Amino acid sequence: MTQIPTLKRLSLRNLKFKQIPESPGVYIFIKENTPSYIGKAVNLKNRLKSYFSLNLAPKTQRMIGEAQSLSFIRVNSDLESLLLEARLIQKYQPKYNSAAKDDKHPLYIRITKETYPKVVTARRIEKKEKNLAFFGPFPSSKNVRSVLRTVRRIFPYAEHKAGKRPCLYSHLGLCNPCPSLIEKEKDQKTKDGLVKTYKRNIRHIRAVLSGKFKPVRSELFREMQVKSRQEKFEEAQRVKEQISWLDYITQTAVPTESFLENPNLTEDIRRGELAELKAILNQYLSLKGKLLRIECFDVSHLAGVNPTASMVTFINAEPDKNFYRHFRIRQEKGADDIASMREVAGRRTQYFASWGVPDLIVVDGGKTQVSAFQTILKDAKIPIVGIAKRNETLVVPITTKAKIRFFEKRLPKGAALNLIQRLRNESHRFARRYHHHLLRKTLLPLS
């Protein structure tokens, strides 16, 4: 077994969970400087807490009892944690990863070497089998199949050999072009084009599962441009949709190898996000000090029914759920987002002493939503900006003696946009959760 020399260790004897972030990542239990178990988590703190409960399986109890310390590597997304977990297990082969958590054997993703390569899962990789590539082992088959379902929506592939009839998945667009249809094609030029498309999908899948996201996106973008110049607009639109899906599953994704080279990469990325956002805002505002605490507000309702608002708080660009808050809107016109925003802003001012004061407030919306907050908080001297959905535009108000002037800046793809999108997405999620809770209480009253 190989040792991991560069990671920070936390002793299990006096482990303090406040040292562990509530973010996606990979954790490593260590015995005598050697990894004994490697796992992934959507929330590192919650997952590691579960190992210290009273109801552990005998094998898990034995593993915890033998381990002396643990380390973790934070990442940006669940996909990154899955790929990093597999890479580390393959590299270090920990004792307690020899069998899957829920299965007798771990799961691999296998890409076969044949005329139409198949993407399949396998419990073992046999040397006699011809493979273009294989990935894993992945301890959780559920996670693997979830990733493959997502990848298949972007880059369709086959799980079968060419036959007389197209498969069921071809009708769903998940095996496209289907090898069976390719083989039935009589026009050689058309057939060659379909083969090229199929193999390109396989090449992209290999790259994505290897963590090479940027080269795939760059190639797709060039292809979209070529299709547009050739006036093949439907084909260009399909490629654009592939890019959108890829962006969605690899938000702020970085190559897996980068986390191995720098286990503190996520902290470095967060510092870069804050620095870039501050530099952009300083074009319009005079920000003093660090953007240590950022709050984001969002309003949610269904045709004015059960209107709610959310406040999510990021500390050093990371979610801190201790400071999350829900607001049940009290004003009568529940569909009036502006009035709701004014109400929330007013209620927020009542808790500056107990909740703390943010260094920046981000409002989900444009000029009118920002104005609602700005009017109520004009004496608080807290910078307030909006994020308009159209073209991801940052809305920055400047207060003068006469009125409020607005500056709009479309955020370029990069660190600042990643941070703003994460803030907004988290505020949406948190607002919807409370709103749906209230709707269930309304629609399903206790009998």
Q: Given this model, what pLDDT does residue 441 score?
A: 55
Give me the number of domains the chain comprises. Answer: 3
Distance CA 299, CA 427 (A): 9
User: pLDDT digit string (tens) for 33-53?
Assistant: 889 999 888 889 889 988 887
Q: What is the pLDDT of residues 342-371, one digit of tens each?
A: 898 999 999 999 999 999 999 988 888 898
Please give the pLDDT value at position 339: 85
Q: Are residues 391 and 307 in the same domain?
A: yes
| Residues 112 and 53 occupy one common structural domain | no
At 201-212, the pLDDT tens digits run 999 998 888 878
Residue 101 lies in a domain: no
Residue at 338 is within a domain: yes
Whether residues 16 and 82 share a domain: the answer is: yes
Confirm whether 395 is domain-assigned.
yes
Residue 60 belongs to domain with CATH number: 3.40.1440.10
- Asked if residues 41 and 107 have their Cβ atoms less than 8 Å apart, the reply is no
What CATH number should be reported for the domain holding residue 403? 3.30.420.340
Last residue of a domain, one of 96, 131, 150: 96
Identify the pLDDT of residue 356. 92
Q: Closest by alpha carbon to 199, among 287, 112, 300? A: 112
My answer on whether 292 and 410 are in the same domain is yes
Residues 14-45 as b/e (b if ≥16 CB within 10 A, e otherwise) read eeeeeebbbbbbbbbbbbeeebbbbbbbebbb
Indicate whether 195 and 326 sit together in one domain.
Answer: no
Residue that is last in its domain, among 196, 231, 256: 256
**For position 348, what pLDDT does the model report?**
93
pLDDT, tens digit (0-9, with 9 covering 90-100), for 112-148: 888 999 998 888 777 667 777 878 777 777 777 877 8
Confirm whether 262 is domain-assigned. no
Residue 334 has pLDDT above 50, yes or no: no
The mean pLDDT of the chain is 82
- Pair 305, 422 in one domain: yes
Interatomic CA distance for residues 85 and 68, integer angstroms: 20
Q: Are 52 and 35 contacting, i.e. CB atoms less than 8 angstroms apart?
A: no
The pLDDT of residue 317 is: 92
Average pLDDT on 422-426 reads: 86
Same domain, 39 and 186: no
pLDDT value of residue 297: 93
Is the residue at 49 inside a domain? yes
Per the structure, the complete domain to which residue 46 belongs is given by 10-96
Question: Are 64 and 134 members of one domain?
Answer: no
For residue 254, pLDDT beyond 70: no
Considering the domain architecture, whether residues 156 and 239 belong to the same structural domain is answered as yes
pLDDT of residue 151: 86
pLDDT, greater one: 1 or 238: 238
**Segment among 208-212, 243-247, 318-322 with least mean pLDDT:** 243-247
Q: Residue range 69-81: average pLDDT? A: 84
Res. 437: pLDDT tops 70: no
361 in Cβ contact with 291 (< 8 Å): no
Q: What is the mean pLDDT of residues 231-256?
A: 74
Interval 65-93 mean pLDDT = 84
Does one domain contain both 311 and 436? yes
Q: Please indicate, yes or no, whether residues 28 and 65 belong to a single structural domain of this protein.
A: yes
Confidence of residue 6 (pLDDT cuts 50, 70, 90): low
| Structure-block tokens of residue 442 | 């309304």
Question: Nearest CA to 28 among 211, 270, 260?
Answer: 260
Which is higher by pLDDT, 138 or 54?
138
pLDDT of residue 277: 94
In this structure, is residue 102 part of a structural domain? Answer: no
Are 238 and 291 contained in the same domain?
no
Q: Indicate the residue among 215, 231, 256 that finishes a domain.
A: 256
